[in-house]
Amino acid sequence: MAADLETCENGRDNPAAQVAACTNIIEAGQVENMAGAYFLRGHAFYRQGQFDSAISDVTRYLAFFPDSAAAYVNRGAAYNEKGENDLALADYDAAIRLDPTNAFAFINRANVWSEEGEPEKAIADFTEAIRLDPKDPKPYRLRARIWENEGAFARAIEGYNQALRVDPGYVDALNSLSWLLATGPREIRNGVEAVRLGEKAVALANEGYIHVTLAAAYAEAGDPMAALREYETAIRLDNAYTSRYQQDLKTRGYYAGAVDGFHGPGTRSAIEACVRAGCQLLTD
């Protein structure tokens, strides 16, 4: 049982093992450990994508501890994953009533407000999360993304920069700002700065989507061969980009072949022709 307790409490890196260990504790009927086992198993189920099971376990935990703000946050996240946003909002509201200093609850509720097409409510919640925890860069970036979507580009740029002042190595903020400066409206574009940000992001996280951003930045900065290199690197990291490029190239009139995900000579030559002409692939 000691091994089960250890895995149930500290087995986050292996959710399947954590579920099994917590289940053993629950089935053993150890009342003193049962509530915690439900809470931890619920979180493990969430990480496995088993959202109904997560909701069930957290609800059981709340029967023991009805004033747990953290439990309402966790259950709200599971409801949100299921698309049941009314229930998610109700749980986040409950969490905030129980603990008005819970910045994470405000962040999660803001994300739901954004999904529901309520940008002002989302911005208000992100702003409160920032007030509660100004050293967390995430709400700065998420608030900036809403401003970007709303066309408030100057505020978006400042918001991304705020996130980077808190954490200069925050890859998502580096990538978001690089993308905006590379592909946004002409009056705010800055290819040189977009390249600087994109190169820093790639150095920190070698992911396909970041190479796509850097490619767009190089294209904006007038370096098509560097852009081509980055588009090709994205494919090497994730071949799913091939079919996405093919569809985009077909729409732009550079590619007449099948959208089949095959990175053959026809696709390669189409990418090069488009990039040499100044294309930024995968932009609207």
- Please state the three-class secondary structure of the chain as a single string: CHHHHHHHHHCCCCHHHHHHHHHHHHHCCCHHHHHHHHHHHHHHHHHCCCHHHHHHHHHHHHHHCCCCHHHHHHHHHHHHHCCCHHHHHHHHHHHHHHCCCCHHHHHHHHHHHHHCCCHHHHHHHHHHHHHHCCCCCHHHHHHHHHHHHCCCHHHHHHHHHHHHHHCCCCHHHHHHHHHHHHHCCHHHCCHHHHHHHHHHHHHHCCCHHHHHHHHHHHHHCCCHHHHHHHHHHHHHHCCHHHHHHHHHHHHHCCCCCCCCCCCCHHHHHHHHHHHHCCCCCCCC
Mean pLDDT of the chain: 96
Asked whether residue 282 falls in the same domain as residue 154, the answer is yes
In a domain, 271, yes or no: yes
Q: Is the residue at 4 inside a domain?
A: yes
In a domain, 233, yes or no: yes
What is the pLDDT confidence band of residue 12, given thresholds at 50, 70 and 90? confident
| Tens of pLDDT, residues 128-144 | 999 999 999 999 999 99
89 domain-assigned:
no
- The answer to the question of residue 78 being in a domain is no
pTM for this entry: 0.91
For residue 149, what pLDDT is reported?
Answer: 97
Query: Is position 19 within any domain?
Result: yes
Q: How confident is the model at residue 11 (pLDDT cuts 50, 70, 90)?
A: confident
Give the CATH number of the domain where residue 217 resides.
Answer: 1.25.40.10
Same domain? 153 vs 282:
yes
48 and 158: one domain? no
Residue 235 placed within a domain: yes
Residue range of the domain that includes 237: 147-284
Answer whether residue 86 is part of any domain. Answer: no
The yes-or-no verdict on residue 31 having pLDDT over 80 is no
Percent residues over pLDDT 70 in the chain: 99
**How many domains in the chain?**
2
